[in-house]
Structure 1
C-alpha cells in the first residue's frame, strides 16, 4: 500500500491493446495459475510465536465466496464456504467479522450430517463466534455461512465511490474493496490475519451491464433473470485475506501482453480512453524486470491496475494480488491536468504496488510487526526500477527526500523501531508511516550498498524461492542475504530496524599527514528535542563510505563510540559518499569549510545530500543556520534541472520559516534574484519535446517564486485564471496545478468565486478536486473561513471536502483545527476512521502557535492510546517547532543581512 522510488534487459513486449466501448463484461483469460499444495505447516495450528487475535484451534485452506452487492441501497449479501482444519476438540470456532449480520451457519464434516451453529458477534474485538451444541472434534470441515453487510462511502471494506461519467457528466457509482490492514472481515467472515493464508474462489451476482473485477481472470459468466449475471473468477494462489479484491462498475479495460506473457491491464471508468496508455505501458514494462530481479516469475495470468475515482486521506494505492487498486489522480495520465510530478508518480506508485506482488503477496510478513518487509522493500524496489527505466529523471535525489522525511519523524522522542510491536487493529492502521516506508527503504539501500548489489540480489532470490506462498519475519531475509555471502547483515540490520532513532556521526577533526587523512570520529544520536540529547545513547554499527577528493571511496564499518580511521589521500573528505548511509554527519568547521570550497566538484547526489543534511543539522541547532545555508547558496540556478528543482523547493521551505516582515522580504528578494533568471530562460510555457525534468523545474520555480510573491508570476497566474470564462482551456497542461496554486494563494473575492464555479462544473473528479482543494489555499482569512464552511456544506463530494480543510491548514492551521473540532461529526463522515488521527496531524503540521499545545493535548486525551499515536507525534513536533523556531529565524535573518551586503 502506498500512503500519497539496475539494470536488467527487457525483451520487447507483444502489444495487444483492446479498447472496450462501453465494456459490459471482462473477457475470460487463461486458466488460473497453479498454487503449491497445502503443506503440513499450513495444516498445523498457528505457532504461538506468531501473534493472533484468534484461538488457534482452526485454520482455513480455501474460501468459496459468492457476493451480491446492491450498489444503490449500499448493502450486500454473501455466502461463504470455508474449508478448514480443526486441531483440538472445542465447542466453538472464532473468526473475524466486522459489521456482518449472519443469518445461518453450519459446519459440514468430511462425513456425516451438518452441524448447526449459533453465532454471536463481538463488535469490540471484531469477531464472530460459531458455537455448536456438541464439541467439534478435530478434523477437516466446511464452514458454510450466509450473511449480509453494508457498503461504505469511505475506502475500507466494500465501499462505493460516486463520480461524473466521462462521457455524459452524470453521476455514476463504482464499487471497490480495501482490506489492508484488518478489513476483509467487513466483506466476509474470515481468518483475517496475514499468516492464515488460503486460496479463494470468488463469484458475484451483478447487473449484466457492469464489469466485475477481481484478483483472477473471469472463468465463467452466466446470464440470470432481471438483467443480472453471475461472474465467477479463477482460483487465487494461496494468499492472505487482506489481498482479496472485488470491483464493480461501468469500466473499460485495456491490456498489453508483457514480455513474460502476463496480461497487464488498466481497468478505468468508461470514457477514460488514452488516459490509461501511460500506466498500461509502464505496467507491462516493469513486470518482466521484477521477474528477472526476484528470480521468480509473476505467478498469475494477469495483473490489473483498477482506477478508483476520488481519494483517501489514508492511502493512495493498494497491492491486491492481480488487481492493484489506485486512485485516479496517480494512475491516469490526463494531458490537461497531470503535472510532471504527477507523471512520475504514476510510474513510481505503480512500480511500488507491482513490487508488492512479490514482496508482500508471494512472501508475506507473519504479522504486522514486520509490515516494513512489505512497504520498505516495495518503496526501495520502486525506486530501483523507476531509475532504471527513467535515468533522465535523476530519481536517486528522491531517496534523499525520503531519508529526510524518515529522520524528521525518527528524531522525535515519539519515534518507534522499524520492527515495531503491533497488537490491536488501531495500531495496525497507524503503522503506515515514514519510518515504516522511508526509513525501511533507506536501511535496505544502505545494506545493499554495503554487501554489494549482486550478493544482495542472490540473497533476495533465495528468500523468494524458499518462502514463496508463506510468511516470514525480518530475520529470515537477513539469513538469506548472509547465505548468499553478505557480511555483517544481521548485525547492521538488527541495530537499524530494532533500535529507534537517527545515528549522528561526529567528524571531530581531519588531519592530513604523509599523504593520508586521519579522521577522528565519534557517534551519538541526532534528536530534534534538545532535552533528549543528554544521557547514554545507543551504538549503531555504521557503514561508512569515505571519499577523499576524487579518489575511490573506502568502506569502514564503525562499531565503537569513538574511532580513528586513516584513509589514503588528502583533500576534502566526504564520509557518507553516495548518501546511502542512514545517519547524519556533523563535520567540524574546518572540514565543512573544505567541503563548501569543493562543493561544485562533488557528484550531484552528494551535493544534494550534503546540503539537506546540513540544513537539517542547522534547523535542529547542532550548528548555526549558516552551515546549511551556504551549501544551499552554493547550488547555482544553472545547476542540473533535478538539483535546481530541489534547491528551489528548499528556498521555499525556508521562506515558510520566516514571519511577515523585513527578513521575509529580504529572502523573497534573494529568491527572485537567484531563481527568476532560470525561469526567464525556461519561459512560462513547456516546450515540445523538452525533458520532463525541465518541465518539473519550471513548475517548481513558478511555485517558489509565486509563494515569495514575485509580481510577474503572480500576475501571470491571475491572468490565466481570469481567462477561464472565455477560454476553458486557459490553464490546461502540465502546469495547471501549479498555476492554480499560485492564483489561489493570491485570490481576490472574484478569483475565489471563479474557482468555486469551475469546481462545480468540472467534468472529471480529478479536476473537480483540483479546484476544490485550491479554494482552501487563499491567504485572505475571510476566504479561508468560507472554504472551511464549504467543506461540510454537502456540496463537495466526500473525497474532495477533506482536501479543502487540509489546504486551509497550510496557512491557517489553528483556524482549521478549531473548525474540525467544532464540526467533528460532520468531518468524521468525510474521513474513514483509520485516517482520522493522521488527518488531525496534517491539519496542525504547519502550526507555530503555543495555544495549539493545550488543544492537541486535550484532543489526544479523548482518543484510545492505540489511536492517539499520530496526534501525539504531531504534538511533539509542534513543541519542537516552538522551541527552535525563534533561533532559526534569528540566525536566518543574520545570514540574510550578510548575504545582502
Structure 2
C-alpha cells in the first residue's frame, strides 16, 4: 500500500490516515452484486452494511506490549442508518470518520460494548445507502497468550538470550482484537496490510512484501500485496528476528518455512514436505493455489488448545510440530510435522478459498482438513501405515459422542464462548470419520469430482454443508445427502447388533438391528434414531458386500460361509456387537484379517466391553490375538492399548492384578524391544524408531525394571554431558525417568530446563517435571508452575502433566490459586483447561467439586466442564466392573 495523508476531523482531534489509491473497493466485487447478509446466516451485527476492502496500518511496540493502528474500510451501506456497528474487543478508538463520495470526512462518535465485543460508530445524521470509507484510529494491547496479536518470548538459538516475537491468532472471534472489523466469516473482503516495525526485524503477512520504506528512528514501513477476498479470521501479521527458507513448488508457488533465526536446517523437512503437498492438492481440488506464496511460520511457543492455524498464505505452526530438530524431535513428532502441515495446507482450499457461512459448519473446515491430511500423509508415506490412525480418531470421537453431553457435527453456535468451544473431537475426528465413510460409499473418483465441483461453484464465497452434498449428488454420489444429513445432524454413535449368523446351503444370513451406543446405561433401551448406515460386510475371505441399512431391523444374505466381519476396512462410523459364536470365529481367524481390521475389531470390542455391553474378556481376547512380531505400526498401537488396559487397574485393591498384568505385558513386549535395542541404527525405518519409543513408554509404565533403570541412567548422564540424551528418543526416556523421579532426578530436570537454549527443549524438561508419581514432587511441581519462573504456556503444561497422575491434587491446587492460574491461560481456554485437569480422575469426591466450579461459569462457557463431569460419572459407574473383569481375565488367561 502506497501511503498518503488525509485529514480526519473528529470530536476534539484531527487524525491522519493512510489512504491508498484504491479509494472505494477497487478490489472488491461491484457494489451492485453485494447484498446484506441473509437472515439465514447468524450474525452479531445489524446486517445494514458490508465491507469490501480493508487498508490497515499497524505499529507494534513489542516491549511495551501495545500497538496502534489505523484502518480504512470500504463499506457498502444498504439501508439508511444512524450508525455503523463493527466488532472490536479491547481496542481504544481515538478517532473515527465516515467519508462519502464527496470525499469529506464526517466525524463519528464511538461507543464500545465490551460484553458484545462491538464498536458503534454513530453519525450526526442518517447515513444514506451507498458506498463509504470508514476511517478509524485506535490502539490495543499485545497479549501473552495466543489470541489476537500476541508475544512469545524464547531463547535465541545463537546466543541463548531471551528474545521476543509477535504473531496473530484470530480464529474464531479474535481479529476484532487487532482491528475494528466485520469479524464474521461471511463478511469476506480483501485486505491491504502495512506495518511499521524495527528495521532489523522481519515482518510477515498473508501476501508477499510489496515494498519497504525506511523511516526515522530505526524503523521501516513494510507493505504487503493485496490479499484475495477472504474472511477476517484468516488475516495474519508477524514480526521478529526470523529467517526464511524457501523453494519453488512444482506449481510455481514460492513455499517457505519462516523460523526463529538460527534454525537453519531444522526447516528443511517441513519445506520439502510443503513443496510436495501443495501441487498434490492443486490436482485433487482442480484449483491451483491462488496466492503467489505459502509460508508456514514457526512460533517458538505452544498452546494447550491448538497446534497450528491456516491463515491464508501464512500458516502459523508451533515450532515443536514444524521444525525437525535431531536433538529433540521424536519419530511421532516427525510424522506430526508432515500431517499437521498437510492439514493446514488442505485448509488453504477447504476453509480459506471456500469458507463456512457460520461457525455451525466449522466441521466443513476441520473435518475435511483432517481427512485430507490423512489422505495426503498416507499417499506420500505409505510405510507409515497411516490409516491405522483413523481407527484411533474414530474411537476418540465416539468416546465423546456416546456421552449424554454430545452434540451434532453441525452444531448450533451463537455466542463467542460457543465459537471457541466448537473445536472438539466431534468436529475433527467424527467429521473425518463420516467423510471417510461417505467417500468409501460413493467411490473415490466420484468423491473427488464432487470436491472439484464444490470448489468451482463456491470459490471466494461461503457455504453450508448442504452446498457440499448438492455438489456430491450432482457429481453422481447417490444417497450422499441422505446419509450425510443423518450422520452430521443426529448426535450419537450407531450400534449395529448382529443378532444371529447362520449358514445354510453355502449362504450366510445375518439378522441385524440398529440401536444407539451409549456410555450411559440409563440411556439404553430408549428409542434411538435410525441412521442410513453404509455397511461393508465380508464372509470368510470373499469380496466384501455393500449394503445401505435404512431400517431399524434388516436381514442380509451373502454368498459363502465363514467368519463374518461387519465394517470391513473400518470406515463405517458405528459400533458392531457380535454374538458369541461370531466372536469366537473372528478370534480364531484373526491372523487372516488385514491389519486395519484386526486393529479396528480390537478397539471396537474393547470399547463395547468398557461400556458394559460385553465382558472385558472379549476385548482382551482380541488384544491377545495379535502377534508380538506384527508390523511395527500395528505393534506400537497394540502395545499402547495394553498400556491403557493396565491403567484401568488403579487403586490398592487392584494391585495384585496390576502386577500380574504388568508381568504379562513385559513378557509379550520386552523381547520385541530386546530385538530392536535401546538405541536405533543408522538408516532404520522411522516406524521401527517409533515402535521402540512406544515399547519403552509402555514397558516403563508397567514398571519393567530394565527399562526404568535405563531411563534413570540416561537421565543422570545429563549431569556430565547435557547433550547425552539428544536424539529422537529424548522425550521418551525423559518421560519414563520423570515418572519414576526421586528428588535428585527432579532437580536435575529443573536445572536442565533453566539451561536449555531452545524453547522446545526447555518446555520438554518443564512438562516432564509434573509427571513424577511421588506426591511431594507433584506438589512441588504445582508450586513451581506459578512461581513466575516458567513461561505461561510451560507453566500451564506443568499443571496438566501433574494432573495425569494426580488429578485431584491438581484440581484443588488450581482452585486454591485461581487468579494466578488464570493469568497463565487465555480466558477462552480456561474451561477446557479444567476439563483436562480432571480427565483421569476416578475420585467420587470430585463430582461435587466439579459441579461447584461449573456453577460459577455461564452456561455457554461451562460446556467442556460439564462434559468432563459426565465422563467422570461414567468412569465411576464402570471402573469397578472393568477392574474386576480385567482381574478375572488376567487370573484365568494362559
| Shared fold per TM-score greater than 0.5 | yes
Residue 544 of structure 1 contacts residue 558 of structure 1 at CA under 8 Å; is this kept in 2?
Answer: yes
For residue 678 of structure 2, what is the aligned residue in structure 1?
684
User: Displacement, 1:534?
Assistant: 2.2
CA–CA distance in structure 2, aligned partners of residues 119 and 705 of structure 1:
63
For residue 188 of structure 1, what is the aligned residue in structure 2?
179
For residue 762 of structure 2, what is the aligned residue in structure 1?
768
For residue 822 of structure 1, what is the aligned residue in structure 2?
816
Check if 1:580 corresponds to 2:571. yes
User: Displacement, 1:636?
Assistant: 1.6
Check if 1:144 corresponds to 2:135. yes
For residue 266 of structure 1, what is the aligned residue in structure 2?
257
For residue 3 of structure 2, what is the aligned residue in structure 1?
none
Deviation string 1:601-643 (CA, Å, 9 cap, x unpaired) is 0000000000000000000000000110000001121011011
User: Displacement, 1:799?
Assistant: 1.3
Picking from 551, 561, 568, the partner of 1:570 is: 561
Deviation string 1:713-751 (CA, Å, 9 cap, x unpaired) is 000000000011112222111100000000001111111
Q: Assess, with a 3 A threshold, how the Cα gap between structure 1 residues 514 and 36 changes in structure 2: closer, same or farther.
A: farther
Deviation string 1:176-207 (CA, Å, 9 cap, x unpaired) is 00000000000000000000000000000000
Deviation string 1:526-568 (CA, Å, 9 cap, x unpaired) is 0011111121110000000011111111000001110011111
For residue 735 of structure 1, what is the aligned residue in structure 2?
729
For residue 404 of structure 1, what is the aligned residue in structure 2?
395
Check if 1:755 corresponds to 2:778. no
CA–CA distance in structure 1, aligned partners of residues 227 and 194 of structure 2:
12
CA–CA distance in structure 2, aligned partners of residues 668 and 762 of structure 1:
35
- Paired positions, count: 867
3-state SS in 2 of match to 1:485: coil
Residue 35 of structure 1 contacts residue 237 of structure 1 at CA under 8 Å; is this kept in 2?
Answer: no
Check if 1:226 corresponds to 2:220. no
List alignment gaps of at least 5 residues for structure 2: 1-24
Residue 314 of structure 1 contacts residue 834 of structure 1 at CA under 8 Å; is this kept in 2?
Answer: no
CA–CA distance in structure 1, aligned partners of residues 499 and 762 of structure 2:
55
List alignment gaps of at least 5 residues for structure 1: 1-33
Deviation string 1:843-880 (CA, Å, 9 cap, x unpaired) is 00000000000000000000000100000000000000
3-state SS in 2 of match to 1:724: helix
CA–CA distance in structure 1, aligned partners of residues 188 and 866 of structure 2:
35
Check if 1:857 corresponds to 2:851. yes
Deviation string 1:224-282 (CA, Å, 9 cap, x unpaired) is 00100000000000000000000000000010100000011000000000000101000
Check if 1:392 corresponds to 2:383. yes
For residue 441 of structure 1, what is the aligned residue in structure 2?
432
Picking from 20, 35, 44, the partner of 1:44 is: 35
Matches within 5 A, 1:621-640: 621-640=612-631
Check if 1:845 corresponds to 2:832. no
Q: Assess, with a 3 A threshold, how the Cα gap between structure 1 residues 726 and 241 changes in structure 2: closer, same or farther.
A: same
Deviation string 1:158-184 (CA, Å, 9 cap, x unpaired) is 000000000000000000000000000
Comparing 34-43 with 238-247, greater Cα deviation is found at 34-43
For residue 335 of structure 2, what is the aligned residue in structure 1?
344
Check if 1:777 corresponds to 2:767. no
For residue 870 of structure 2, what is the aligned residue in structure 1?
876
For residue 289 of structure 1, what is the aligned residue in structure 2?
280
CA–CA distance in structure 2, aligned partners of residues 334 and 88 of structure 1:
57
Residue 28 of structure 2 contacts residue 53 of structure 2 at CA under 8 Å; is this kept in 1?
Answer: no
For residue 698 of structure 2, what is the aligned residue in structure 1?
704
3-state SS in 2 of match to 1:415: coil
Check if 1:197 corresponds to 2:188. yes
Deviation string 1:748-800 (CA, Å, 9 cap, x unpaired) is 11111111110111111100100011110000100000000000000111110
For residue 22 of structure 2, what is the aligned residue in structure 1?
none
Tell me the C-alpha RMSD between the 2 structures: 1.0
Residue 65 of structure 1 contacts residue 201 of structure 1 at CA under 8 Å; is this kept in 2?
Answer: yes
For residue 31 of structure 1, what is the aligned residue in structure 2?
none
3-state SS in 1 of match to 2:111: strand
Give the number of the structure with larger relative contact order, counting CA–CA contacts within 8 Å between residues 6 or more apart: 1
Check if 1:489 corresponds to 2:480. yes
CA–CA distance in structure 2, aligned partners of residues 839 and 425 of structure 1:
17
Check if 1:604 corresponds to 2:595. yes
3-state SS in 1 of match to 2:860: coil
User: Displacement, 1:115?
Assistant: 1.3
CA–CA distance in structure 1, aligned partners of residues 27 and 888 of structure 2:
67
Matches within 5 A, 1:5-16: none
The structure 1 segments of at least 4 consecutive aligned residues displaced by more than 4 Å after TM superposition are 34-37, 39-42
Check if 1:78 corresponds to 2:69. yes
For residue 802 of structure 2, what is the aligned residue in structure 1?
808
Check if 1:117 corresponds to 2:108. yes
Residue 35 of structure 1 contacts residue 238 of structure 1 at CA under 8 Å; is this kept in 2?
Answer: no
Residue 51 of structure 2 contacts residue 75 of structure 2 at CA under 8 Å; is this kept in 1?
Answer: yes
CA–CA distance in structure 1, aligned partners of residues 547 and 406 of structure 2:
28
Picking from 294, 299, 312, the partner of 2:303 is: 312
CA–CA distance in structure 1, aligned partners of residues 120 and 691 of structure 2:
58
Comparing 280-289 with 654-663, greater Cα deviation is found at 654-663
Deviation string 1:398-451 (CA, Å, 9 cap, x unpaired) is 000000000000000000000000000000000000000000000000000000
CA–CA distance in structure 2, aligned partners of residues 739 and 793 of structure 1:
27
Q: Assess, with a 3 A threshold, how the Cα gap between structure 1 residues 40 and 552 changes in structure 2: closer, same or farther.
A: farther
